[in-house]
Structure formats: structure tokens, C-alpha cells
């Protein structure tokens, strides 16, 4: 499930620094790589909270999922995670948490993160990738449809917030979503 207003390359804005001058063009030196602990400062806002970023990074460290970041001009400009098991559409890997900083949207960062996620899934033998999108997030649905994902069914997404230090559940709930799936090309 994607936080509202995240996960698409919509809402293009010029990329500028604090002075308003052009600061970077994410495609010039965009690199997709595994997230590391040193990335945490840049991941809190993208992941929705510092705790959520920490939980996702811990899961990646245990091999339960992959957490990928897009880096441009030495800054984290996007993130996505892929859960290998127990996703929303088993047995397919579950792509989730795609977010791109506003100034880098509509520059291919989201597409590059999805492509890298799909490549990671294919490398693990997956023949399809799945995700879920809030039913009222038309921009995200459209974004994923342009990438070849199709809506396969409605879903009631259950979420849980966990304190990464104690493991205590700090919140939980549900949200209506669409399950979307894309069959991966056979190599």
C-alpha cells in the first residue's frame, strides 16, 4: 500500500536547491542500489516515518525483503521494498512502499525502482510481481498500469506499525486497496 500522494512520478517540479537554482537532474547520475543503514536519515520522510524506514531496513537485513534506494547527486531520491513472502498476492513477491521525493518525480525514478524490483524478483525465480494500491489513488493506479500492471481484485489491506527498538505494535488498521499484478518477461 502506498502512502497518499506517493509512489508516482506525477506532480513534476523543477529540481532546485535552497537558492532556487537547478541542483540536480536525477537521470544524469541515477543509481539504484540496496539501502544501507547510512541511508536512514534520507529514508524517514520517504517511508512515512523513521521507525517505518528502520523496520523495513531490518527486514531487508534478515533477507525477508529487499529495500532499494534511488540515489542522485549523492542524495536518496526514492525508495521501494519487495517482500519475498507473505505479501498481498501470494506466491508473488510484493512490491510496496514506492516513494519518490517531489522534485525528482516525472523523471523516471519510480520507473527505475520498479524495474529494479522486478529484476530482483525475476532473479529469485518469480514469474510475476504484485502490489496493492489504495482504491482512491487514481494517480498510482495509472502509473502502475503504464508499467504493465493490471488490477486483479479488490483487497482489504491490513497494516501494522511496529517500534523497531522494542518490536511493540504501535498501531494497526485496514484500508481498501486494489491488488495489481504484472507477469514478468521470461528471460
Residue 144's pLDDT is 98
Confirm whether 35 is domain-assigned.
yes
Confirm whether 140 is domain-assigned.
yes
Confirm whether 38 is domain-assigned.
yes
Residue 32's pLDDT is 98
Residue 27's pLDDT is 61
Read off the CATH number of the domain in which 64 is found: 3.40.630.30
Tally the domains of the chain: 1
Confirm whether 14 is domain-assigned.
no
Confirm whether 9 is domain-assigned.
no
pLDDT by residue for the chain (187 residues), tens only, comes to 333 333 444 433 334 444 444 444 546 789 999 999 999 988 988 988 888 899 999 999 999 999 999 999 889 999 999 999 988 898 999 999 999 999 999 999 999 999 999 999 999 999 999 999 999 999 999 999 999 999 999 998 887 777 777 888 888 888 999 999 999 987 6
140-143 — which CB contacts under 8 Å span 24+ positions?
A: 140/2, 140/7, 140/8, 141/178, 141/180, 142/8, 143/7, 143/8, 143/9, 143/10, 143/110
Confirm whether 170 is domain-assigned.
yes
The DSSP string of 104-128 is GTTTTHHHHHHHHHHHHHHHTT-SE
Confirm whether 6 is domain-assigned.
no
C-alpha triplet 46, 158, 144: angle, nearest 5°: 55
Residue 187's pLDDT is 63
Confirm whether 1 is domain-assigned.
no
Domain of residue 43 covers 31-183
Amino acid at each position: 500500500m502506498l502512502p497518499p500522494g506517493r509512489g508516482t512520478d506525477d506532480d513534476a517540479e523543477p529540481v532546485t536547491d535552497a537558492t532556487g537554482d537547478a541542483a540536480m537532474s536525477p537521470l544524469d547520475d541515477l543509481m539504484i542500489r540496496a539501502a544501507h543503514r547510512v541511508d536512514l536519515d534520507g529514508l524517514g520522510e520517504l517511508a512515512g516515518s523513521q521507525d517505518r524506514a528502520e523496520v523495513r531496513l531490518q527486514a531487508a537485513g534478515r533477507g525477508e525483503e529487499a529495500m532499494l534506494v534511488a540515489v542522485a547527486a549523492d542524495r536518496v531520491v526514492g525508495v521501494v521494498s519487495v517482500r519475498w513472502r507473505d505479501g498481498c498476492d501470494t506466491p508473488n513477491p510484493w512490491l510496496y512502499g514506492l516513494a519518490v521525493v517531489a522534485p525528482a518525480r516525472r523523471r523516471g525514478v519510480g520507473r527505475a525502482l520498479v524495474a529494479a524490483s522486478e529484476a530482483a524478483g525475476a532473479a529469485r525465480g518469480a514469474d510475476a510481481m504484485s502490489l496493492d494500491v489504495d482504491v482512491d489513488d487514481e494517480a498510482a493506479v495509472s502509473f502502475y498500469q503504464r508499467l504493465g500492471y493490471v488490477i486483479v481484485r479488490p483487497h482489504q489491506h491490513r497494516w501494522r506499525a511496529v517500534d523497531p527498538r522494542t518490536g511493540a505494535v504501535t498501531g494497526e488498521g485496514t484500508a481498501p486497496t486494489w491488488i495489481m499484478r504484472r507477469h514478468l518477461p521470461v528471460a
